[in-house]
């Protein structure tokens, strides 16, 4: 346990037990006044020691005897009991981490602890940069809390939660989730309490990016999907033929639009959640609102011998096993198809690499690009 955390724990315990200490102090003060009246030949120091039952009083009446009997019991129960509890009993770690977060200043605040947020926190810890983290899901940050890191468990759209994380004293804030409603609410609250800190927001839509980069937000916006597209543009340069795109999200939309409209290629977009209104008048993009996650399923709807590239844009956390099985099957039966898979965990890269699959949208790549894009005074830029 760090010294800071120890003192915070101790302070919290004292606050929790303040009334026993108040009563104990008043009892001692009453004893000191009593002996001050009756031990007229004793000095102030001697009187205080008599009241502590360190020195024997010269008076031997019943009241003095009662005090000398009760005070050691009081001392043992209140003071020594508290000290033993402070050393052996662990205080609520969630409260401790919250107080540590409130003590930060000129620091970085991270809103959300998932993939990119994890990368940012790991870097700040490694470089010993001051930070605080706000995460709604306690289970995601239990290890950080147990280690005494500055974490606030709560809703970062609430002003009180932002203040708990030291938003009024922070240098910068990174909003790294995909929920625009929460983004606009939280930065509105932040701007109420801190008009100078730098704001970095993960936003997909270009119109929203332009809106947030103006007054009063003055935010720096970025899209990890757009960064991933830059890699995909290089991989698809000069390629022809029909492509299949699996999944419906920001990155799959960007990939489909690039292939169809910038390269003039036919695209088969497959996912049960596709918004058909987007592509109703698009002759280059054919949609299937079904969940075809197996090789057999793809064979049923298209001629795979006519497919040149396959982009698997699922969230690999939930579809990892399906992605692996699909890659294995296509690599075996249709080795001429180039496969690209969206992943989040670096540990899975070697698994896909053995099938000559290119991976994209990893949090590490996004983090490195973010480090290059932030302002020069950002904690992510400074060595």
Q: What pLDDT is recorded for position 345? A: 79
CA–CA separation, 45 vs 57, rounded Å? 13
> pLDDT confidence of 4, banded at 50, 70, 90?
low
Angle at 207 between CA 201 and CA 212, to 5 degrees: 40
Q: What pLDDT is recorded for position 1? A: 44
Candidates 89, 125, 118; CA nearest to 9 is 89
| Cβ pair 353, 360 in contact under 8 A | no
> Does 53 score more than 50 pLDDT?
yes
Q: Do domains 93-222 and 226-364 have the same CATH topology?
A: yes
Please state the CATH superfamily assignment of the domain spanning residues 93-222 in this structure.
NAD(P)-binding Rossmann-like Domain (3.40.50.720)
Domain ranges of the chain: 3-88, 93-222, 226-364
Residue range 45-59: mean pLDDT, rounded: 89
Tally of CB atoms within 10 A around 135: 24
CA–CA separation, 378 vs 198, rounded Å? 8
What predicted TM-score, i.e. pTM, was given to this entire model? 0.76
Q: What pLDDT is recorded for position 248? A: 94
Q: Which fold has domain 226-364?
A: Rossmann fold (3.40.50)
Least confident of 73-77, 115-119, 247-251, 337-341: 73-77
Q: What confidence tens digit (pLDDT) does each residue in 29-45 have?
A: 999 999 989 888 889 99
- Mean pLDDT (the chain) is 90
> Does 310 score more than 80 pLDDT?
yes
Q: What pLDDT is recorded for position 146? A: 87
């Amino acid at each position: 346990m760090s010294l800071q955390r120890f003192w915070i724990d101790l302070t919290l315990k004292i606050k929790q037990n303040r009334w026993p200490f108040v009563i104990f102090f008043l009892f001692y003060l009453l004893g000191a006044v009593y002996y001050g009246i009756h031990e007229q030949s004793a000095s102030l120091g001697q009187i205080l020691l008599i009241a502590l039952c360190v020195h024997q009083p010269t008076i031997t009446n019943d009241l003095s005897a009662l005090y000398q009997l009760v005070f050691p019991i009081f001392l043992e129960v209140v003071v020594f009991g508290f000290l033993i509890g402070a050393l052996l009993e662990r205080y609520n770690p969630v409260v401790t981490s919250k107080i540590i977060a409130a003590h930060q200043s000129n620091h970085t605040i991270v809103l959300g602890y998932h993939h990119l947020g994890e990368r940012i926190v790991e870097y700040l810890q490694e470089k010993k940069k001051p930070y605080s983290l706000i995460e709604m899901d306690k289970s995601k940050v239990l290890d950080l809390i147990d280690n005494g890191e500055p974490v606030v468990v709560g809703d970062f759209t609430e002003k009180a939660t932002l203040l708990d994380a030291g938003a009024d004293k922070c240098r910068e804030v990174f909003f790294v989730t995909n929920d625009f409603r929460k983004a606009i609410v939280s930065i509105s609250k932040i701007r109420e309490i801190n008009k100078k800190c730098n704001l970095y927001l993960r936003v997909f839509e270009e119109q929203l990016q332009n809106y947030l980069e103006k007054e009063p937000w003055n935010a720096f916006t970025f899209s990890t999907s757009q960064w991933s597209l830059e890699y995909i543009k290089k991989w698809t340069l000069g390629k022809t033929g029909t492509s299949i795109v699996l999944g419906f999200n920001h990155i799959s939309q960007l990939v489909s639009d690039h292939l169809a409209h910038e390269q003039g290629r036919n695209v088969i977009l497959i996912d049960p959640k596709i918004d058909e209104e987007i592509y109703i008048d698009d002759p280059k993009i054919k949609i299937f609102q079904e969940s075809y996650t197996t090789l057999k399923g793809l064979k049923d709807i298209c001629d795979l011998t006519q497919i040149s590239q396959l982009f698997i844009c699922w969230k690999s956390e939930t579809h990892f096993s399906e992605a692996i099985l699909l890659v294995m099957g296509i690599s075996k039966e249709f080795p001429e198809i180039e496969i690209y898979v969206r992943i989040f965990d670096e540990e899975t890269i070697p698994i896909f690499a053995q099938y000559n699959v290119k991976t994209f949208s990893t949090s590490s790549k996004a983090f490195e690009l973010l480090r290059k894009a932030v302002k020069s005074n950002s904690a992510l830029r400074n060595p």
